[in-house]
Amino acid sequence: MADDPHAIFEEWLAEAQLSEVNDPTAMALATVNAQGQPSVRMVLMKGHDARGFVFYTNMDSRKGGDLAANPRAGLLFHWKSLRRQVRVEGPVEPVSAEEADAYFATRGRDSQLGAWASDQSRPLDARATFEARFEAVKARFEGGDVPRPPRWSGYRVVAERIELWNDRAHRLHERRLFTRNGQGNWSEGLLFP
C-alpha cells in the first residue's frame, strides 16, 4: 500500500492552489519551548521536496527560540474547500545560507525592509516605534539591494510522520499514516477516524 507521501502532498497542493481562496500554502506550525510550553501559529510554506517543508522567520522570534531549545515541530495544512488536511511531524533543521539568501531575494522590497525593522515577537511600546524603524531602514537601503538580515533565515521540517486525512460522510473519515523508518523508507498504515 505504501506510496510516496511527498508525491501525494504535491498533488493535493496543486488541487488546493486551484480551489483555496487564500494562501493554500498556509500551515499551522506547532513548537514547544524548553519548559514544555506549546505554541502554534500560522506560517507560509515556501518550499517542499523530499527533504521536507520549508518556512522562513526571524530566528530571534518566539518560534525561533522554541526551535533552538527543541528542534522538532508539527505542521498542519487544512484545505477546507477540498475537505482535506495533512499533518506532518519531525525534526527541524536550518536551511543553508544560500537557500535563505535566494528566497529572501524573491520577497517584495517592503517585506525585506520589514525583516530588518522588526524585532519579531518582542514587546512593542507603540506602532509608531515600528513605523519609524521601518522608515529608517528604508532610508538606510535607499537605492540599493536589501541584504538578508543575519538573524533571518529558514527552517526545514524533516518529515518522520505524514498523515493524509480525507473527509467522509458521517465522520467516517479516511486517515492514511506514513512513517519513515531508520533507512529513510516510508511505511503506510491506516488510522481509525
Q: Is 33 helix (H, G, I), strand (E, B) or coil?
A: coil
From 171, 175, 176, 180, active-site residue = 171
Task: Give the pLDDT band (50/70/90) at residue 1.
Answer: very low
d(Cα 54, Cα 74) in Å, to the nearest integer? 12
171 has catalytic annotation: yes
Break the chain into its structural domains and give their ranges: 5-106+149-191
Query: What type of residue is 168?
Result: R
Q: Over the stretch 172-187, which tens digit does the pLDDT of each residue have?
A: 899 999 999 888 899 9
How many H helices and E strands in the chain?
A: 5, 10
Contact 23, 44 (CB under 8 A): yes
Q: Do the beta carbons of residue 120 and residue 58 sit within 8 Å?
A: yes
Give the three cell numbers for residue 120. Answer: 519579531
Please tell me the distance from the alpha carbon of residue 89 to that of residue 76, in angstroms, as a whole number: 9
pLDDT, tens only, 32-75:
999 999 999 999 999 999 999 999 999 999 999 999 999 999 99
- Burial pattern 2-14, b for ≥16 Cβ within 10 A else e, equals eeebbeebeebbe
Strands 161-166 and 84-94: antiparallel
For the residues of 97-161, what is the DSSP string, one character each?
A: HHHHHHHHHHS-HHHHHHHHH--TTS--S-HHHHHHHHHHHHHHTTTS--PPPTTEEEEEE--SE
- Beta-carbon contacts of 182 under 8 Å, excluding residues fewer than 6 positions away, are none
Residue with cell 498523515: 163
pLDDT tens, residue by residue, 112-152: 999 999 999 999 999 999 999 999 999 999 999 999 999 99
Q: What is the pTM of this model?
A: 0.94
Our measurement of the distance from residue 11's CA atom to the centroid of its chain's CA atoms, rounded to an integer in Å, reads 18
3.40.250.10, 3.40.50.300, 2.30.110.10, 3.40.630.30: CATH of 5-106+149-191: 2.30.110.10
Q: What is the pLDDT of residue 171?
A: 87
